[in-house]
Structure 1
């Protein structure tokens, strides 16, 4: 997700700082990409949900680094929670892809 967001930012000439956190990049892309800046019906509520996406990404990133097999961790989250987190990221990726294709 981190690398994907960097690529999306670069494709839209959105500047990303070296070692910038994934949540900050998500915010830059969400607010700075012309196709991702939502201004339709219920924009305030949709904006709140999208902002919450940054919190979700941050929490999933912490779990990935400290409780998954992505790194040598002794304890990992159970399968049900792992699939839930994976599907959250998939939903975000799907949303971004749909917006970029429109």
Structure 2
């Protein structure tokens, strides 16, 4: 997301979080400005994804093997996280790269 911001001339702090990069893209990228006939509902879904990304940062740091952690998320929860992220990235890829 940070590289897409950079490619799109969207300014972002060097230490920006994933959530901050997502929000900057959502607000400033032209491909994400008009969401079609159901702009309001799609916008609400995209706003919810910001919460998903925020939770992802916490899970990565405290519930995964990315750092030394004793309490790792379970298999079903891990699949939920992976699938949520894949959904977000797939959507953004379709909107921004098309």
TM-score norm. by structure 2 comes to 0.93
Q: Which runs of 5+ in 2 are unaligned?
A: none
Give per-residue Cα distances to partners, 1:27-46, cap 9 Å, x unaligned.
11111111122331111111
Q: Distance in 2 between matches of 1:56 and 1:38?
A: 22
The alignment's TM-score, normalised by the length of structure 1, stands at: 0.90
Q: Distance in 2 between matches of 1:94 and 1:65?
A: 23
Note if 1:62 corresponds to 2:89.
no
Distance 2:78 2:33 in 1: 30
Structure 1: which 5+ residue stretches go unaligned? none
Contact 2:5 2:12 in 1 (8 A): yes
**RMSD across aligned positions (CA):** 1.0
Instruction: Report 1 or 2 for greater relative contact order, CA contacts < 8 Å, sequence distance ≥ 6.
Output: 1
